[in-house]
Amino acid sequence: MNNRLARAVVVEVGETASSPTIKAERSFSSAECDQLLKVVSELYTLEERGNLPQQVLRSLRGLVPHEFGGCHLIEPTRQHIAACYEPAPTPLPALHKDFWRLAETHPLHPLVFSQPARAWMLSDVISRRAFHATECYEALYRPLQVDCELVAVLPETGTPEAFLHISLHRNGQDFTEHDRAVLNLLLPHIARVRQRLATKALRRLDNEFPTEPGPFRDWLQRHARWELTPRESEVLFWLSQGKTNSEIGRILGIAERTAETHALRIYPKMGVENRYTAIAALTRLSGTV
């Protein structure tokens, strides 16, 4: 990595982690910068949103040593959690019968949700000895033989009360300011990748060809400017399903000749000659070819 890129990485770490309560390492070796750049590049190559938690945990394992890590999509108000662990510990904390009650008593709980998108260490708010005396430690952490934690949450795009919760765990040896700086550096990139993948998923969903006449009309209005009447949209939908004029007439409660008349009015509006070229135009519009 050249010096310019190394300096850029250092500056971003400093800016992201700057806070009266956080002190961040402001320098990384060239080897560390190369490793960080590789991790970020791998994140940006992801194509499926569901692969992000595993990739985040795999990446962090090589950057911040820890016994195990968790990457969860959580909705505290609904008490819903989609948990991913690497490696999967036994027992899984999220499966504990009192998980949600205990999670709200976690010493870091008020801090991470009131100040998201930054990394916090358990030792920021409580000593290890005091943490050992909590019910949260006894029920969730002691069975896993860990008592040190580095954690951050990112608000879920489009869902204000949902968060991506990233937590790394160790036993005995606390995380360092350098570990915190690494996670703080990666958080904005993780957030951008999540936004890109969420947008991609929405576009893919939006482009999916509807299977009912009502949604089809709405989809058609978003994707084409053919100015079809509601009835013409219905006829076009059933035409796209391979129905004959006779079948369309029975479905819509109209005469076969009326269904044919609607079809003949549709084709010029679409700029096509017949039902086959109309279906081809719809196929191109849906992006399936």
Do 3-206 and 208-286 agree at the fold level? Answer: no
Cis peptide bond prior to 87, omega within 30° of 0 = yes
Tokens (6 digits) for 235: 């006829």
Q: What is the pLDDT of residues 122-137, one digit of tens each?
A: 999 999 999 999 999 9
| pLDDT value, residue 83 | 79
Q: Which fold has domain 3-206?
A: Beta-Lactamase (3.30.450)
Q: Which amino acid is at 31?
A: A
Per DSSP, helices labelled H in the chain are 3-17, 30-44, 52-63, 99-104, 109-114, 128-132, 135-136, 177-207, 213-223, 230-240, 245-252, 256-270, 275-286
Q: What is the pLDDT of residues 179-220, one digit of tens each?
A: 999 999 999 999 999 888 876 665 554 556 777 888 888 888
Question: What pLDDT band is residue 5 in, cutting at 50, 70 and 90?
Answer: very low
Average pLDDT of the residues of the chain: 82
CA distances from 238 to 37, 207, 231, 247 (A): 51, 18, 11, 9
**Contact in structure between 99 and 120 (CB atoms under 8 Å):** no
117/2: higher pLDDT: 117
**Contact in structure between 54 and 86 (CB atoms under 8 Å):** yes
Domain segments of the chain as ranges: 3-206, 208-286
| pLDDT value, residue 160 | 63
Tokens (6 digits) for 37: 């750049």
Q: Across residues 22-28, what is the average pLDDT?
A: 51
**Contact in structure between 239 and 281 (CB atoms under 8 Å):** no
Q: What is the pLDDT of residues 226-246, one digit of tens each?
A: 889 999 999 999 988 888 899
Query: Of how many residues is the chain composed?
Result: 289
Crossing angle for the helix pair 230-240 and 275-286, nearest 10 degrees? 90
The CATH code that applies to domain 208-286 is 1.10.10.10
Tokens (6 digits) for 153: 């949450």
